[in-house]
Amino acid sequence: MSPYALASEWERAQEARDQSPAATIEVRPQSWLRGTVRYSQLEPVVGFESARWLPSLLSDLRLLETSGQDIRGIGDLRVAHATADHVRRLLTIIPGAYLPAPTLAPFSGGGVALTWNIGDRELMFTAYPDHDDFVFMRTDDSDEIADDGILKPDQTKELTDVITAFLTARVR
Amino acid sequence: MPLLDDATIPGNAVLFRVLHQHKGWITSKGGTPRPSSIAFFEAHGEVSYFVNAPGMLTELRRIFQGSEIASVPASVIREKNLAIERRPAECPVGFQCDPACHVVVGPNGEMERNVYERNARSIAKHPDVKIVPNDPPAR
């Protein structure tokens, strides 16, 4: 597949949107998409200036890492340093500036979930201890599962596709 | 290790899942607060629940003060190919009900994590899964 195919796909989606009377979420991730495709050997890095929510999210993540507890009857909510690092790596790959502020939550067994919402649409990535990948789940505007799977951080094309689909899904 | 389903827990039994106070564990999608799917994730596939029995809710509210509690029918769990296994030894310290009421729920065989999460989400969204209302304060 041509490295430019994704950009073309995005442009086609843009054209389709322009021709349709249906409302869409107003996002403009073209520059990020093109940069990712043309310089695929370089991972796009999210700067603090590009995602306003990033500093507080990193702070929350640090808090989970340092203050998680093992609560019998609920679960072990201690987040290992390696798991937190894995989430930080994801945050360096994704285009933070184009995404709303996510919710960060621990889950039992030392996992971390990162969830973005646009209306009823949702994109969730989960990091599990001792796994170098992420489980993702994307829902549509009816809050029904549109896509899910398991991705590694170096699958930038697939990650891009998931995030693009989340950002460009139509609002009913 | 896959869990072994305990047939002594009937399908119409109600299980309680104590919800951590983290904001991500409850959602208001659809207008009514309900547990979010995250509350039913477990990295090793063993989510803690308590089988309802006389005095159980009172005991859970005593131990986990301030936490919301979700009720989940056992049949909803089994519909999702998840097993219910008793784990009395993993009861909270000072638990004053029957320790055999403490159970864990998880896959009874190999299950990909995305499939597991899908099942957990189905449980969270099931119409019979509800947050148990708090008792009104005594006058």
Distance in angstroms (rounded) separating the CA atoms of residues A35 and A38: 5
pLDDT of residue B110: 92
pLDDT higher than 60, residue A24 = no
Radius of gyration of chain B (CA): 14
Confidence of residue B130 (pLDDT cuts 50, 70, 90): very high
Mean pLDDT of chain A: 80
Cα(A83)–Cα(B137) distance, rounded to whole angstroms?
41
Structure tokens at A48: 């603090």
Contact B88, B99 (CB under 8 A): yes
Contact A109 B112 (CB under 8 A): no
Chain B nearest C-alpha distance from A77 (Å)? 9
Judge whether residue A27 has pLDDT over 60: no
Quick check: pTM over 0.90? Answer: no
CA distance readout (Å), A86 to A36, A110, A130, B38 = 20, 12, 10, 18
Overall average pLDDT of the A13-40 stretch: 47
Mutation target among A108, A115, A128 for the B interface, most CBs of B within 10 A: A108
pLDDT of B82 higher than 90: yes
Please indicate whether, in this complex, the C-beta atoms of A72 and B67 are within 8 angstroms of each other.
no
Closest CA to A166 of A119, A126, A129: A119
pLDDT at B37 over 80: yes
Q: What is the mean pLDDT of chain B?
A: 94
User: What is the rounded radius of gyration, in angstroms, for the C-alpha atoms of chain A?
Assistant: 17
Please tell me the predicted confidence (pLDDT) of residue B118: 97
Q: Is the pLDDT of residue B95 over 70?
A: yes
Q: Which one is predicted more confidently, A38 or A155?
A: A155
pLDDT average, residue stretch B79-103: 96
Contacting residues for A99 by C-beta, under 8 A, at least 6 apart: A51, A116, A163, A167
Task: Round to whole Å and give the CA distance between A77 and A69.
Answer: 5
Which chain A residues touch B42 with a CB distance below 8 Å? 75, 107-109, 111
Is the pLDDT at A146 greater than 90, yes or no?
A: yes
B20 contact residues in A (CB cutoff 8 A): 71, 74-75, 77, 106
List C-alpha distances in Å: B111 to A77, B43, B48, B94, B105. Answer: 22, 12, 18, 34, 13
Contact list, B64 vs chain A (CB under 8 Å): 73-74
**pLDDT tier for residue A5 given thresholds of 50, 70 and 90:** very low
Q: B43 to chain A: which residues are within 8 Å by CB?
A: 107-111, 128-129
Residue-wise pLDDT for A32-69, tens only, equals 444 444 444 544 555 545 789 999 999 999 999 999 99
Among A35-49, A96-110, A155-169, which stretch is predicted with the lowest mean pLDDT? A35-49
- Give chain B's contact residues with A (Cβ, < 8 Å): 18-20, 22-25, 29-30, 36-39, 41-44, 46-48, 50, 60, 63-64, 67, 90-93, 95, 102, 112-114, 117-118, 121
For residue A59, give the amino acid letter.
S
Domain that holds residue A80: 5-168
